C-alpha cells in the first residue's frame, strides 16, 4: 500500500539500505588503504545521507542553541559534525565485518526509533537510531549504543563546559579536540 500523507514511510525500509551502504564502505579494503583523514571524509559523506547533524547539534546544546546567531549555529553544527567525524568515524579500523540485524521499530508521529543489533562473532550490541521525519525521509539525530545516547552524552559534557567557560570556551575546546584528532590522524 502506498504511503499517504497520514502514513509515514517505513523507517526500516529507508534505513536498511543506508546501513548496508555504510557497512559495505567500511568493509572495503580500498577505504582502509586511504589516509585516515580521507577515510573519515568518505564515511561522513555517506553518513550525511541519513543523519541530521543540525537536529543533533540543536539537541546537544539544548537551550543554548536558541541564544546563538545563525552564524554561530552554523559554526557549531560544522564543528560538532567534524568532532563526531573524528571521534567515531575515526574508528574505521575497529570494523571487522559485523552484521546489522533490524529487530524493531516504533513510530510516534514524526519521530521513530529503529532498533538493531550489531552482531559480531561472539556478541551482539544493541544499537538504536532515533529518527525525525523530514518531508518523506527519516533522518537520524541520535544513536543509542547499549543504552547510552550519543546526544545525551555530549549534552552533559557540553553543559558542564558551558557553565564554566560559556559558549566561547566550548567552541575553543571543540576546536582543540579536533586539532588533536587531526594530529593523531597525520601520525597514523
pLDDT, tens digit only, all 188 positions of the chain: 555 456 889 999 999 999 999 999 988 989 888 888 788 888 889 999 999 999 999 999 999 999 999 999 999 999 999 999 888 766 666 777 888 999 999 999 999 999 999 898 888 889 999 999 999 999 999 999 989 999 999 999 999 999 999 999 999 999 999 999 888 767 65
Q: Return all residues near 85 (Cβ < 8 A) that are at least 6 apart.
A: 40, 41, 43, 44
| Burial annotation 126-145 (CB, 10 A radius, 16+ → b, else e) | ebbbbbbbeeeebbbbbbbe
- 26/125 Cα distance (integer angstroms): 18
Report the pLDDT value the prediction gives residue 86, as an integer from 0 to 100: 82
Task: Catalogue the long-range contacts made by 156-160 (C-beta closer than 8 Å, 24 or more residues apart).
Answer: 158/60, 158/61, 158/64, 159/62
Hey, is 59 helix, strand or coil? helix
Report the pLDDT value the prediction gives residue 166, as an integer from 0 to 100: 93
**Domain 11-187: CATH superfamily, name plus number:** Tgt2/MlaC (3.10.450.710)
Amino acid at each position: 500500500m502506498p504511503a499517504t500523507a497520514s502514513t509515514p514511510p517505513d523507517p526500516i525500509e529507508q534505513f536498511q539500505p543506508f546501513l548496508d551502504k555504510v557497512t559495505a564502505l567500511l568493509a572495503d579494503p580500498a577505504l582502509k588503504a586511504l589516509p585516515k583523514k580521507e577515510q573519515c571524509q568518505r564515511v561522513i559523506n555517506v553518513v550525511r545521507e541519513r543523519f541530521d547533524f543540525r537536529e543533533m547539534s540543536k539537541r546537544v546544546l539544548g537551550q543554548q542553541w536558541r541564544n546563538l546567531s545563525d552564524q554561530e549555529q552554523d559554526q557549531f553544527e560544522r564543528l560538532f559534525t567534524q568532532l563526531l567525524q573524528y571521534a567515531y568515524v575515526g574508528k574505521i579500523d575497529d570494523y571487522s565485518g559485523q552484521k546489522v540485524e533490524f529487530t524493531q521499530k516504533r513510530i510516534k508521529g514524526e519521530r521513530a526509533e529503529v532498533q538493531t543489533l550489531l552482531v559480531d562473532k561472539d556478541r551482539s550490541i544493541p544499537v538504536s537510531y532515533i529518527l525525525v521525519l523530514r518531508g518523506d525521509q527519516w533522518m537520524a539525530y541520535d544513536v543509542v549504543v547499549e543504552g547510552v545516547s550519543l546526544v545525551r552524552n555530549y549534552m552533559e559534557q557540553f553543559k558542564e563546559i558551558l557553565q564554566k567557560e560559556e559558549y566561547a570556551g566550548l567552541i575553543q575546546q571543540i576546536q582543540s579536540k579536533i586539532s588533536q584528532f587531526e594530529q593523531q590522524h597525520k601520525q597514523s
